[in-house]
Structure 1
Amino acid sequence: METFFSSVLTRMRKEAGFATAYSFYHDNGGAPVLKVSYRNYLSMEQGKILPTFGRLSRIIFGLRFISKSAPANTLVVAWLKTMAGEEAYGNLLEPIISVKAVSGLSPLHKAMARSLSEKKFFITRERAEVVYANRTNYMCFMALGNDTAEWDPEDLAKKLGLNKQAMKKSLCAMEAVKLVKRLSNGNYVCPLATSHVEFPTLRTAPLCDKAHERMAELVASGKTIYFRRGVIRADLMDLRNFLPLMDLNITTSLTYSITKRTDQSALFAIEGRVIKLMDF
């Protein structure tokens, strides 16, 4: 009973790194976030039902697509074709809908995206709230999430320059949501240290503000080793199609990540920003 929309949705879900419909639904927070039951979401992928148009924005965010980008628009067009029928869409809707064709990713970028998607671990909103709750939690997760060794809480606090009691509270909070594991000797390890951790798309202001605050604190304490900036004039809708490529290029830095200390190893913040300066 496959439909055009269900086939596109299923393909995009797999390409995004979610191996099953179950993982996509629950790794995105389930009903509270997607506003549908798992049974109904599965029916969407099976072609039994078509989601209401308003649900598409939540599915797009769940797939980690950038709003109004080419991948997001592709899913919307698939919905319209299925809703209207391909013939009716071609005769009535397509002439009045402007969806610009954009060049896809290069074969190298596609291969890199496939390779990285196999190592993805999607952090639920509940876990993200614990990580972003305070500076100690954030620093603790960033450190353990990049190291496969086991750590004594006091040694970790000393290494990161954090309060020992605050560190113990942070480790307990993260153990409660299974971000770290406490060993029988009292030390802690992070089971996600070898994974490509993906945080949820942050749609609500409080959590989004906390995420920006935590990263800003971390970046302010570091030292810039590379910097590149430019100003261009571009059409906003065209520029949005550059963002997925920029996102993948930044994610590709994971191929350089290590989980064991070396003589020159360090934690590095790698970020990309596009800032609209003014209408012109």
Structure 2
Amino acid sequence: MAKFADVLRHAREQAGYTSSRGFYNRNGGTKFFGCTYRHYLNVESGKTMPSGKLIDRIAVALGLLVDRDRARAFVLGYLNSTAESEELVNLIVQTLGPAPDKFKTAESPLVDSMARVNKAHTFDLSREQSEWQCKSPENYWTFTIISHDKGAWDAGTIADATGFDRKKIESALKDLLKFKLVRKQGKDAYACPHAGKVFQHPDSKIYSMGLSALRDYRKDMAEKNGETLMRYHFFSRAPESELRHYFQYLIKSVQGAEVCSTMEKGPDTTFFEIETNVRKVLPF
């Protein structure tokens, strides 16, 4: 099991994910992998072997289906951890055929940009910090605004931008100072020393419930101040087993939009929420 765990960690790092939690959360968490983060961590730490279904989900998330060399190393790691003998592994490899001497995947600006994005530093929020954000829209938006900008903000500026009560914003800023998520600059301004990082919420039942609250906060804000810029719809009949292999492209295309992210205000900078959904409608 340790052999596969080592291969999995190496493959994750090659894909640009510096932490197991970041890899798990950024690819859809429980809904995508079909298991809890704790279970995935047991696989990556070598405590247990993954099921065939989880192996498929991991391979898709790592983009192995378009990188034969990495896919081969991944599968060999799995075989070495599950086969009864090295001779059996060699037999399987010889039966399936030798690897090509040279195999190059197509170079893509999106793939390159996503590698840079995934390697960005992450910040793991504590359970208390995560629960605090979920408590109110004032808490959530105060932190969201200040953590996405390199500059300093005061309660009045945030209140003007969001339409929230200034006193509630002041209270939220004091809490953030206590959590050491912001630092005071001058008399009334605050700045986030972690601005630009990818903030990871802990995997817990409480956060799973809180996640719906955060979505509601964004939805309410969009209804007041935003608009839908694009919607693309596609309806098709397809084998689920084949369509699932396409998920990686959907995920990476959405993640790729992150290369446009900025920490500075511009003439048309805006918070955007970009998502993609694949919904099963009727077995047919």
Identity among equivalent positions (%) equals 17
Shift in alpha-carbon separation, 1:230–1:26, aligned structure 2, 3 A: closer
> What is the CA distance between 1:120 and its match in structure 2?
3.7
The answer to whether the aligner puts 1:261 opposite 2:265 as a matched pair is yes
Aligned pairs for 1:188-267 (under 5 A) are 188-195=190-197, 197-200=198-201, 204=205, 205-221=208-224, 222-267=226-271
Q: Is the 8 A contact 2:113 2:259 kept in 1?
A: no
Shift of 1:150: 0.5
Question: How does 1:1-280 map onto structure 2 within 5 Å?
Answer: 3-18=3-18, 24=20, 34=38, 44=45, 50-53=46-49, 69=60, 71=62, 78-79=77-78, 81-84=80-83, 85=85, 87-88=87-88, 107-124=108-125, 126=127, 127-195=129-197, 197-200=198-201, 204=205, 205-221=208-224, 222-280=226-284
Does structure 2 retain, via aligned residues, the 8 Å contact 1:202–1:208? Answer: no
Q: Do the aligned partners of residues 122 and 250 (structure 1) sit closer, same or farther apart at CA in structure 2, a change above 3 Å counting? A: farther
Contact 2:43 2:49 in 1 (8 A): no
- Structure 1 pair 191/247, CA: closer, same or farther in 2 (3 Å)? farther
Superimposed CA distance per residue, residues 170-224 of structure 1 (whole angstroms, 9 cap, x where no aligned partner): 22333333332233423111223333x2534856341333343333333333212
Q: Is the 8 A contact 1:180 1:189 kept in 2?
A: yes
Give, in angstroms, the shift of residue 67 of structure 1.
6.5
CA contact (8 A) 2:155 2:166 kept: yes
Q: Deviations over 1:207-250 (max 9, x none)?
A: 33334333333333321222222212222232222222222222
- Is contact 1:131–1:138 with CA below 8 Å preserved after alignment? yes
Aligned residues of 1:219 and 1:269 also touching (Cα < 8 A):
no
Q: CA deviation at 1:55?
A: 11
Q: Is the deviation greater in 155-164 or in 228-237? A: 228-237
TM (norm. structure 2) is: 0.68
Gaps of 5+ in 2: 25-36, 65-70, 96-104
The gaps in structure 1 that reach 5 residues or longer are 45-49, 96-103
For the residue of structure 2 that corresponds to 1:146, the secondary structure is coil
TM-score, scaled relative to structure 1: 0.69
Separation (CA, whole Å) in 2 of partners of 1:91 and 1:135 = 59
Give yes or no for contact 1:27–1:123 (8 Å, CA) kept in 2. Answer: no
Contact 1:130–1:174 (Cα < 8 Å) also in 2:
no
Which amino acid is the alignment partner of residue 209 of structure 1?
S
SS of the equivalent of 2:279 reads coil
Deviation at 1:277, TM superposition (A): 2.1
The 1:258/1:14 distance shift into structure 2, 3 A limit, reads same
Q: Distance in 1 between matches of 2:165 and 2:122?
A: 29
CA contact (8 A) 1:34 1:55 kept: no
Count of aligned pairs: 252
Q: Alpha carbons of 1:56 and 1:6: their partners in 2 closer, same or farther (altered >3 Å)?
A: farther
Q: Letter of the 1:53 partner, please give it.
A: M
Look up the equivalent residue of 2:248 and give its one-letter code.
P
Q: 1: distance between equivalents of 2:57 and 2:179? A: 28
Q: Which residue of 1 aligns with 2:101?
A: none
CA distance in structure 2 between the aligned counterparts of 1:66 and 1:211, rounded to whole angstroms:
26
* 1:242 partner SS: helix
Change (3 A) 1:143 1:86: farther
